[in-house]
Amino acid sequence: MKLIGMLDSPYVRRVAISLRAMGISFEHQQLSVFNDVEKMQAVNPLMKAPSLITDEGTLLIDSTLILEYLDQKCSADCSLFPKDLEQFTKSQYLIGIALTLCDKAVQLFMEYNRRPPEKFYQEWADRIDEQLHIGLKLLDQQVTVNNMGYLVDTRIMQADISIAIAIKYIKKKLPDLYQKHVSEKLRQFSSEMEATPLFREFIF
């Protein structure tokens, strides 16, 4: 199995950490959709990361769809999703917020760093900033900092991974927003996750 994409993408990092957490062996090939265009096109003509090549040679794209596949592939005790419906629903709620944060943080970073200055859209940037602020407030209401902060089980699950990755991406790519909107509780949660061997193996 081969995972293709750079760890500065929260979606690639999400899959890499999840693969390791599930105990699934894989090869990681760091290709950039911006800097390794020809090589990336050879792997995935759609130029999307993460891309996963299964053991059977099938190309899978989109982190959520990849993780659904991996959840089917791994043993039940290695699944990163709760079996209890109430806990599963809570997990999906948290993951939904985390992925929205990732989406909006990527959009805002691109707005500031990829769009030509003369085409910068301040109203759009302000809207994204507000969405990020709201999402971070919603997460702050859910996150605890005891017992390593695990949110839906006594071990690390997909909700924990996705939230921690979103916070780290914001810290690295949008430091001003991180200082302004990320609470001390969320910072501690992220720091605790990032300090684990699982996260340190895939440093961003």
Which of 14-18, 109-113, 147-151 is predicted with the least confidence, judged by mean pLDDT? 147-151
203 C-beta neighbours (distance < 10 Å), count = 9
Predicted structure pTM score: 0.94
Report H helices in 22-115.
Answer: 37-43, 63-73, 85-113
Q: Mind listing the pLDDT tens digit for each residue in 111-140?
A: 999 889 889 999 999 999 999 999 999 999
Q: Are 2 and 27 in contact (CB under 8 A)?
A: yes
| Residue 142 reports pLDDT greater than 70 | yes
Q: In angstroms, rounded to a whole number, what is the distance separating the alpha carbons of residues 81 and 71?
A: 8
Q: Mind listing the pLDDT tens digit for each residue in 188-201?
A: 999 999 999 999 99
**Identity (one letter) of the amino acid at 68?**
E
Q: Are 159 and 91 in contact (CB under 8 A)?
A: yes
Q: Are 2 and 53 in contact (CB under 8 A)?
A: yes
Q: Which two tokens stand for residue 138?
A: 């919603």
Q: Mind listing the pLDDT tens digit for each residue in 64-86?
A: 999 999 999 998 899 999 999 99
Strands 2-4 vs 51-53: parallel, antiparallel or unpaired: antiparallel
